[in-house]
Amino acid sequence: MTKRLPEDPAKKARMLTAAIQLFAEQGYEPTHVDQIAQQAAVSKGLVFKYFTNKEQLYLAALTAANQQFMTVIDRTVWQNSADLSAMIINATRYKIQLQLQFPAEFNLLMTAFVHQQQLPASSQAYVQKMFVANHDLTSELMTPVVALLQFKPGATAADLLEVIGYITNGYIHKIQRYLAAHPEITKIEQMEPLIQDLATKLKLVESGFIQG
Amino acid sequence: MTKRLPEDPAKKARMLTAAIQLFAEQGYEPTHVDQIAQQAAVSKGLVFKYFTNKEQLYLAALTAANQQFMTVIDRTVWQNSADLSAMIINATRYKIQLQLQFPAEFNLLMTAFVHQQQLPASSQAYVQKMFVANHDLTSELMTPVVALLQFKPGATAADLLEVIGYITNGYIHKIQRYLAAHPEITKIEQMEPLIQDLATKLKLVESGFIQG
Amino acid sequence: MTKRLPEDPAKKARMLTAAIQLFAEQGYEPTHVDQIAQQAAVSKGLVFKYFTNKEQLYLAALTAANQQFMTVIDRTVWQNSADLSAMIINATRYKIQLQLQFPAEFNLLMTAFVHQQQLPASSQAYVQKMFVANHDLTSELMTPVVALLQFKPGATAADLLEVIGYITNGYIHKIQRYLAAHPEITKIEQMEPLIQDLATKLKLVESGFIQG
Amino acid sequence: MTKRLPEDPAKKARMLTAAIQLFAEQGYEPTHVDQIAQQAAVSKGLVFKYFTNKEQLYLAALTAANQQFMTVIDRTVWQNSADLSAMIINATRYKIQLQLQFPAEFNLLMTAFVHQQQLPASSQAYVQKMFVANHDLTSELMTPVVALLQFKPGATAADLLEVIGYITNGYIHKIQRYLAAHPEITKIEQMEPLIQDLATKLKLVESGFIQG
DNA sequence: AATGAATGAGCGTTCATTCAT
DNA sequence: AATGAATGAACGCTCATTCAT
């Protein structure tokens, strides 16, 4: 309803791109608005006109990064999988692909949780909500696949999802560290060994590590 | 009566306590030396006399928090366990106890990794080393127990340790969030349901979630 | 109306003027950037934007003061002189004129040597070079005149130049002290007695004080 | 009349020695009371008890350095000279000896004039007076010798004394720079060439540089 | 008398934010 | 709308001075 200010979308996009990259690389405090403006090839004043203050800019960067993934995401990756392990492998492979494609956005979201405490309370709630939504989406996509499984007595779908969540989360961090240490990697194929390793582990979680 | 010492241990302790708490709550950059001095009820000058500069103070806080746990830690918790799950449960219960007893120290160490990039390079190396040492200690304590297990074909002790690492790590964060949201909890007994839940999950990882 | 320039020359000039005056009056350490900003009627931040730090500001003040004289200096004063005494008198009269015209600049340069040891090493080199250049210029201007003189046995042009250097140097200080004590003096004519006195002395040095 | 506080003369002397050396080496501002106390092997508190504040300490150091020379000075050096040049040479040689013997004191007095402006007005007056007294002493010692000279028409004893003052002053600075650059020099004999050079110049001033 | 731990005003410097153009 | 010069609060840190012991 409220008439939006006429904003140049190209400039706004450049600012967000710069913000995403620099906040992801350096964190919240060490990134200066000056830097972002310069990298976006706009004036500092315009950054404040479009985003009010540094905190809002950070939040906008976070939202944009999240949107990036939400827009691009291909749900069929989750849906067209034979079984749970295959699904997770597909999903992980897909995430790595996204990470290779949008490294700055990916990094920003990964570090966002951590920087929450450095932001005013109001922002923290927003970040929180975003992550909950992400988590819910993943659950939603996984639930139908898990529902088909035949669980042992005492085991539940929720338990398995939670455990898988911890493992994949840990693995994503491992991969991120690996990619950061090996910037020459640009193709998903080069990550295949790690993906297969994760597959093995997930299979073992399904069927059990221990003889008996 | 009390002889004035070159370094008053009471004051130094107050400064470290304040530093641990504030760095843990707010992170490195947003915490100001003034704040720490005020909370420790000493002058700003004294903080610099005792710790040279803000970076060293952070490092000292980190070291003190780490020492706290290293000193107090009871290795028998790991060693006197019937099986792997029992061991991890004992360890987790023990960690929760420490977290309840030294919440600020615990939080500081948990966030230290994350703040690494915001610290000068020299500090990063120190933090890194500390965490490697911690990880090595855990591995050392766990290895003998895992060695006794009978693994299924294709499963290895290393795989299991890695997976367990991800799960317990995720669980520790879950518990930390839970405790932060429920400050009324002061006794380990109140956390018993969560611990039992973790136990169930670990058992399932050992034996498998899926029928057949 | 006035276009806002990246560096407002009026402001920069005000800062330099203030810096020259205050550094000259008080020396390097006792002069505070706050003071300079206030006297120049700009914010402290702007001083740093224009001059990076206090040391560079001092150097800029020094350079500006030096430039002032280099630009204004009229070499014909040295060149169109009948003999050595006349030349030195002309030069001295000219220096007094400059001192009356740019007292702060003059004072700053006079005290610069002395403050060298209180400046960071990098600045010392610069100051040193500036003074050597000044000395070289004076020598260059004087050499042709001295070369025409008929020296007594045992006397050399170099000796005479050195002695004259000590005397004029001492005299310049004397005049500077005199002007500082008599701020009502604004015209070179009022200094004529001192100049004539110096002329007499230089003549005596040429021909000798002592009978026989 | 007023009962003096019981002061330990040995400690006071150590403080003054340290103050003289450090103020001479580093100047007023860059020298810290901490440093002086440490070098004097007394507590910082005692320095303030004995000298009230840093400024008074500086003044005391100056006075002590001056006293050092006043006490030690051998007036016969001036008095037992055949003629003016001999007298000045003797005096200069003597000053160099003092400079070698009490380098810190000598340096402090040489730089005092310059640091005057960095001290509060009250101190400046004191320093001023000290230098005037020194000058008067030199004049008093020289006057009888100069009085014996047979001056050319237009030349006066006062003129000659002034000119000689400038030259010797310039020369003392030259020697001081030379000694600072050649710390291996410890004996007056090593300075003899410079002294002879000065002698030559003074003779030339007496009799004139120029033929005819 | 003597100490040196403790203080805090004040320094140089940074950077988010404002505003004249 | 867009700029970037200008601001000033706030930071980390120093050091003359004080005062409990």
**pLDDT surpasses 70 at A1:** no
- The percent of residues above 70 in pLDDT, for chain A, comes to 97
Residue C83, by phi and psi: left (phi above 0), alpha (psi -120 to 50) or beta?
beta
**pLDDT surpasses 70 at D2:** no
DSSP C140-174: HHHHHHHHTS-BPTT--HHHHHHHHHHHHHHHHHH
Put simply, whether D178 touches C (Cβ < 8 Å) is: no
Question: Residue C186 CA to nucleotide F5 C1', Å?
Answer: 39
Residue A204 has its nearest CB partner, among B118, B159, B169, at B159
Residue identified by tokens 């005479």 is C160
Distances (CA, A) of D156 to C193, D82, D161, D166: 16, 20, 9, 16
pLDDT of residue D121: 76
Q: Calculate mean pLDDT across residues D188-206.
A: 92
Question: Residue D49 CA to nucleotide E6 C1', Å?
Answer: 17
DSSP D171-188: HHHHHHHHHHH-TT---G
Alpha helices per DSSP H over chain A: 9-26, 33-39, 44-51, 54-72, 76-79, 84-101, 103-115, 121-147, 157-181, 192-207
Length of chain D: 212
* Confidence tier at A78 by pLDDT (50, 70, 90): confident
**pLDDT surpasses 80 at D160:** yes
Alpha helices per DSSP H over D27-147: 33-39, 44-51, 54-72, 76-79, 84-101, 103-115, 121-147
pLDDT of residue C196: 92
Put simply, whether D149 touches C (Cβ < 8 Å) is: yes
Instruction: Pick the residue of D29, D131, D209 with the most C CBs within 10 A to test the interface with C by mutation.
Output: D209
pLDDT of residue C122: 76
What are the chain A neighbours of B163 within 8 Å (beta carbons)?
167, 201, 204-205, 209
pLDDT of residue C1: 35
Of B77, B92, B108, whose CA–CA distance to B167 is shortest? Answer: B92
- The percent of residues above 90 in pLDDT, for chain C, comes to 58
Residue B210 has its nearest CB partner, among A200, A201, A206, at A206
Residue A169 has its nearest CB partner, among B170, B209, B210, at B170
Instruction: Report the residue of chain A nearest B210, measured CA to CA.
Output: A151
Q: What does the block give as tokens for C146?
A: 């001295």
Handedness of CA C78, C84, C88, C93 (dihedral sign): negative
**pLDDT surpasses 80 at C64:** yes
C17-47 per-position pLDDT tens digit? 999 999 999 999 999 999 999 999 999 999 9
Q: Give the SS3 label for residue D86.
A: helix
Q: Calculate mean pLDDT across residues D29-33.
A: 95
Of A177, A187, A141, whose CA–CA distance to A161 is shortest? Answer: A141
pLDDT of residue B4: 55
pLDDT of residue B5: 62
* Confidence tier at B155 by pLDDT (50, 70, 90): very high
pLDDT of residue B2: 43
Chains D and B touch (3+ CB pairs under 8 A): no
Q: Calculate mean pLDDT across residues B54-63.
A: 95
Q: In angstroms, rounded to a whole number, what is the distance separating the alpha carbons of residues A208 and B160?
A: 10
Residue D29 has its nearest CB partner, among C29, C162, C204, at C29
Instruction: Report the residue of chain C nearest D168, measured CA to CA.
Output: C166
Q: Give the SS3 label for residue A125.
A: helix
CB interface of B with A, residues 181-200, below 8 Å: 200
Q: Calculate mean pLDDT across residues B56-66.
A: 95
Q: Which residues contact B44 (CB under 8 A, 6 or more apart)?
A: B33, B34, B37
Chains A and B touch (3+ CB pairs under 8 A): yes
CB–CB of C105/C69 below 8 Å? yes
Indicate if CB(D43) is under 7 A from strand E: yes
Q: What does pLDDT average to over chain C?
A: 89
pLDDT of residue A124: 84
pLDDT of residue D200: 92
Put simply, whether D111 touches C (Cβ < 8 Å) is: yes
Q: Calculate mean pLDDT across residues B119-133.
A: 85
pLDDT of residue D83: 83
Put simply, whether B83 touches A (Cβ < 8 Å) is: no
Indicate if CB(D44) is under 7 A from strand E: yes
- Least confident span in C4-13, C146-155, D26-35, D94-103: C4-13
A80-134 per-position pLDDT tens digit? 788 888 888 888 898 899 999 999 999 999 888 777 877 877 778 888 888 888 8
Q: Calculate mean pLDDT across residues D161-183.
A: 92
Protein residue minimizing CA–C1' distance to E14: C45
Q: Calculate mean pLDDT across residues B35-39.
A: 97
Question: Residue D184 CA to nucleotide F13 C1', Å?
Answer: 39
φ/ψ (deg, to 5) at A82: -65, -45
Determine the distance from the C-alpha atom of residue A70 to the mean position of all C-alpha atoms in its chain, rounded to a whole number.
10
* Confidence tier at C180 by pLDDT (50, 70, 90): confident
What are the chain A neighbours of B117 within 8 Å (beta carbons)?
26-27
**pLDDT surpasses 60 at D5:** no
Q: Give the SS3 label for residue A151.
A: strand
Question: Residue D115 CA to nucleotide F10 C1', Å?
Answer: 34
Q: What does the block give as tokens for B97?
A: 């106890």
Q: Give the SS3 label for residue A81.
A: coil
Q: Do B152 and A204 touch (CB under 8 A)?
A: yes
C104-152 per-position pLDDT tens digit? 999 999 888 777 877 877 788 888 898 898 888 888 888 888 888 899 9
* Confidence tier at D134 by pLDDT (50, 70, 90): confident
Q: In angstroms, rounded to a whole number, what is the distance separating the alpha carbons of residues D133 and D145?
A: 20
- The percent of residues above 70 in pLDDT, for chain D, comes to 97
Q: What does pLDDT average to over chain B?
A: 89
Q: Calculate mean pLDDT across residues B78-89.
A: 83
| Residue C210 β-bridge partners | D151
A185-194 per-position pLDDT tens digit? 999 999 999 9
Q: What does the block give as tokens for B123?
A: 């500090």
CB–CB of A159/B204 below 8 Å? yes
Residue identified by tokens 């001033």 is D205
pLDDT of residue D40: 97
Q: What does the block give as tokens for D182?
A: 């050649």
CB interface of A with B, residues 7-66, below 8 Å: 26-27, 29-30
pLDDT of residue A2: 45
* Confidence tier at C83 by pLDDT (50, 70, 90): confident
- Burial letters C120-145, b for 16+ CB under 10 A, else e: eeebeebbeebeeeeeeeeeebbeeb
More confident residue, D116 or A179: A179
Q: Do A206 and B208 touch (CB under 8 A)?
A: yes
Q: What does the block give as tokens for C61?
A: 């003040």
B139-152 per-position pLDDT tens digit? 888 888 888 889 99
Q: Do C210 and D149 touch (CB under 8 A)?
A: yes
CA angle D74, D77, D82 (to 5 degrees): 160
B84-96 per-position pLDDT tens digit? 888 888 888 988 9
| Residue D160 β-bridge partners | none
CA angle C111, C115, C117 (to 5 degrees): 150
Put simply, whether B165 touches A (Cβ < 8 Å) is: yes
Q: Do C169 and D171 touch (CB under 8 A)?
A: no
**pLDDT surpasses 80 at C2:** no
Residue identified by tokens 């707010």 is B26
Q: Do C166 and D171 touch (CB under 8 A)?
A: yes
